Chain A
Amino acid sequence: MKFRGRHVVLSLVLLVFGFLISFSYQYTQTETRVVQISDQEWEKDYYYRQQLLDLEAKNIELRQQLNKNRRQVQELEEELGQQQTNIGEFVEDKKELQMLVGELPIQGEGVKLTLSDASYIPTEENANQYMVHDRHIQLVINELYSAGAKAISINGQRIFHDSYISCVGPVISVDGVQHPAPFTIAAIGDSDTLNVSLNLTNGVIDILVNDQIDVEMEKKDTIEMKARIS
Chain B
Amino acid sequence: MWLPALCLIVGLSLGLMTDITVPDQYSNYLSIAVLAALDTIFGGIRAHLEGLFNEKVFLTGFFFNIILAALLAFLGVQLGVDLYLAAVFAFGVRLFQNIAIIRRVLIDKKQKNVEM
Contact = CB atoms under 8 A, between A and B. Distances in A.
Q: Do A and B come from one complex?
A: yes
Contact of A11 (B6, B12, B53): B6
A20 B59 contact: no
Given A10-B3, A20-B34, 8 more contacts: A8-B3, A14-B41, A15-B7, A18-B10, A23-B16, A24-B34, A26-B16, A27-B22
Contacts of A15: 7-8, 10-11, 14
A18 B8 contact: yes
A144 B5 CA distance: 137
15 contacts: A6-B55, A10-B58, A11-B3, A16-B37, A17-B62, A18-B9, A20-B30, A22-B11, A22-B13, A24-B15, A24-B33, A25-B15, A26-B16, A27-B22, A31-B24
Contacts of B3: 7-8, 10-11
B8 A14 contact: yes
Nearest to B40: A13
A34 to B, nearest CB: 10
B15 A22 contact: yes
Given A13-B58, A27-B30, A20 B4 contact: no
Given A7-B3, A17-B37, A31-B27, A12 B15 contact: no
A199 interface: no
Contact of A19 (B5, B6, B15, B58): B15
Band of interface residues on A = 20 to 34
Interface of B: 1, 3-16, 18, 20-22, 24, 27, 30-31, 33-34, 37-38, 40-41, 44, 53, 55, 58-59, 62-63
A17 B41 contact: yes
A9 interface: yes
Contacts of B1: 7
Contacts of A7: 1, 3-4
B59 A21 contact: no
Given A5-B55, A13-B59, A30-B21, A20 B15 contact: yes
B22 A16 contact: no
Nearest to A11: B7
Nearest to B1: A7
Contact of B15 (A5, A13, A26): A26
A23 B18 contact: yes
B21 A18 contact: no
Given A11-B7, A15-B11, A30-B21, A21 B34 contact: yes
A68 B26 CA distance: 55
Nearest to B10: A15
